[in-house]
């Protein structure tokens, strides 16, 4: 019998601590996602840059690591298409 | 003129949280002081200098949102704004996490200086959470400090290490090396203070510690169960349920901001009459 089952655990802060560690350590042990992100960012900028003119600073990468899945959110801002002197073809 | 525009930006104050000894509460204190400053509307960033042993992110509850880090920024792999993580509870509070996979040699004096200078223009307070020890990481964390909070437990090895760190603050920092500059303003933050044990004569008193270290006292944080609970859930202790430790950090931050606040041990049980009468002499 597991000792833990003697004391039914509510949503204690200790339980929260354990879960946070489990999720974090699973990610840390599994691989080195974080190490590859700068390279990933460079590649994304390069690939998109082949097709669209983007500013390398206008890329925003966010991550949210979860127990079942993680999400990587990549936002790229385009400069407003309002070049005042550009010839317009109305 | 750009020079005039720049004047309107905050000229951030760099405060290093350091101690020499490990486990005395540097990261807990960094998170609490950072959150308390941010609560007052001051734009604050807390930087983790403990390269390879990242933990500030856990204590501040943003560990799942780390993408880029301090080292990526120093090495030019990411922009500062990409690495800054905004706190979900306070929009004036930011964390700059460190790398979990690199080592301390990734930090360079020039790189640290460049990042701090950029932050100075954006933030009111820049807190540097130092690693333990007095090696490279700790020295870089204190090098550009305007002020230092030396976290100390009322215990012999901690006080000894604090004394050593105070020496370094006076000799190995930019302010110390710059002729005519004001020295780093160092203050002691006494943590894990147990009034009952002090009453029994088992723990050095505040006066004992200050007499030895001879620097001003920023605050006294009592030993408190609230600290572990807050770290379990990734909440700076000043944002969690009201506690003696949280109140002590709030007071310390008031003093950091130059307010006069009476030194008190909020909400702690006073030692009993017997302890007070007989404790110290036993």
Please say if the pLDDT value at position B275 is more than 70: no
Return the residue of B nearest to A33 by Cα.
B67
Rounded to whole angstroms, how far apart are CA atoms B125 and B37? 8
**For residues B217 and B206, is the Cβ–Cβ distance under 8 A?**
yes
**For residues B162 and B187, is the Cβ–Cβ distance under 8 A?**
no
Instruction: Output the CA angle B164-B168-B173, nearest 5 degrees.
Output: 165
Distance of CA B45 to the CA centre of its chain: 11
Identify the pLDDT of residue B282: 36
Residue B101 has its nearest CB partner, among A16, A24, A34, at A34
Please say if the pLDDT value at position B1 is more than 50: no
Inter-chain touch B234–A20, beta carbons under 8 Å:
yes
Task: Provide φ and ψ at B125, rounded to 5°.
Answer: -130, 135
Identify the pLDDT of residue B274: 52
B183-238 tens-digit pLDDT: 999 999 999 999 999 999 999 999 999 999 999 999 999 999 999 999 999 999 99
Inter-chain touch B64–A60, beta carbons under 8 Å:
no
- Residue B137: its H or E element: helix B136-143
The percent of residues above 90 in pLDDT, for chain B, comes to 86
Identify the pLDDT of residue A84: 55
What mean pLDDT comes out for the span B258-281? 64
Identify the pLDDT of residue B202: 95
Considering only residues 34 to 73 of chain A, which have any Cβ-Cβ distance to chain B shorter than 8 Å?
Answer: 34-35, 37-38, 41, 57, 59-66
What mean pLDDT comes out for the span B64-69? 92
What's the DSSP call for residue B134?
S
- In 3D, which of B156, B169, B173 has the Cα closest to residue B212? B156
Is any Cβ of chain A less than 8 angstroms from the Cβ of B77?
Answer: yes
Identify the pLDDT of residue B281: 41
Work out the number of other CB atoms within 10 angstroms of the CB of residue B15: 25
In Å, how far is A74's CA from the nearest CA of chain B?
Answer: 11
Rounded to whole angstroms, how far apart are CA atoms B35 and B218? 17
How buried is B235 (Cβ within 10 angstroms: 0-12 exposed, 13-18 middle, 19+ buried)? buried
Tens place of pLDDT for every residue, chain A, 90 residues?
A: 455 556 555 679 999 999 999 988 888 887 655 567 788 888 888 888 898 888 777 788 888 888 788 888 888 887 766 555 555 555
B94-106 tens-digit pLDDT: 999 999 888 888 9
In Å, how far is A75's CA from the nearest CA of chain B?
Answer: 11
Pick from A25-34, B69-78, B150-159: least confident: A25-34
Please say if the pLDDT value at position B6 is more than 50: no
Identify the pLDDT of residue B37: 98
Inter-chain touch A57–B101, beta carbons under 8 Å:
no
Inter-chain touch B100–A14, beta carbons under 8 Å:
no
pTM flag (> 0.80): yes
Is any Cβ of chain B less than 8 angstroms from the Cβ of A32?
Answer: yes
Identify the pLDDT of residue B3: 47
Rounded to whole angstroms, how far apart are CA atoms B230 and B221? 15
Which three-class secondary structure state does DSSP give residue B190? strand
Sign of CA dihedral B43, B256, B189, B194: negative
């Amino acid at each position: 019998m597991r000792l833990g089952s003697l004391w039914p655990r509510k949503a204690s802060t200790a339980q929260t601590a354990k879960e946070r560690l489990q999720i974090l350590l699973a990610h840390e042990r599994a691989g080195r996602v974080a190490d590859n992100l700068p390279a990933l960012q460079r590649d994304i900028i390069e690939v998109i840059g082949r097709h669209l003119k983007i500013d390398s600073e206008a890329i925003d990468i966010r991550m949210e690591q979860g127990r079942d899945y993680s999400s990587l959110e990549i936002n790229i801002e385009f400069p407003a298409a309002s070049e005042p002197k550009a010839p317009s073809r109305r | 003129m750009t020079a005039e525009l720049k004047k309107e930006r905050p000229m951030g104050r760099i405060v290093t949280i350091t101690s020499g000894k490990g486990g005395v509460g540097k990261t807990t204190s960094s998170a609490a002081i950072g959150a308390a400053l941010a609560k007052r509307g001051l734009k604050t960033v807390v930087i983790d200098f403990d390269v390879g042993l990242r933990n500030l992110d856990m204590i501040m509850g943003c560990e799942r949102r780390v993408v880029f880090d301090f080292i990526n920024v120093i090495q030019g792999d990411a922009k500062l704004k990409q690495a800054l993580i905004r706190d979900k509870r306070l929009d004036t509070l930011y964390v700059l996490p460190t790398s979990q996979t690199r080592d301390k040699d990734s930090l360079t004096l020039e790189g640290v200086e460049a990042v701090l200078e950029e932050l100075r223009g954006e933030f009111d307070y820049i807190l540097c959470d130092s690693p333990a020890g007095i090696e490279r990481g700790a020295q870089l964390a204190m090098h550009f400090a305007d002020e230092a909070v030396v976290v100390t437990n009322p215990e012999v090895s901690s006080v000894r290490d604090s004394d050593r760190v105070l020496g370094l603050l006076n000799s190995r920092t930019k302010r110390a090396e710059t002729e005519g500059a004001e020295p780093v303003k160092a203050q002691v933050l006494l943590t894990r203070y147990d009034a009952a044990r002090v009453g029994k004569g088992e723990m050095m008193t505040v006066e004992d510690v200050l007499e030895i270290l001879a620097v001003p006292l920023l605050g006294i944080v009592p030993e408190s169960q609230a600290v572990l609970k807050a770290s379990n859930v990734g909440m700076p202790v000043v944002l969690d349920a009201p506690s003696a430790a949280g109140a002590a950090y709030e007071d310390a931050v008031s003093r950091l901001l130059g307010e006069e606040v009476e030194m008190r041990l909020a909400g702690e049980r006073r030692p009993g009459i017997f302890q007070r009468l007989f404790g110290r002499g036993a």
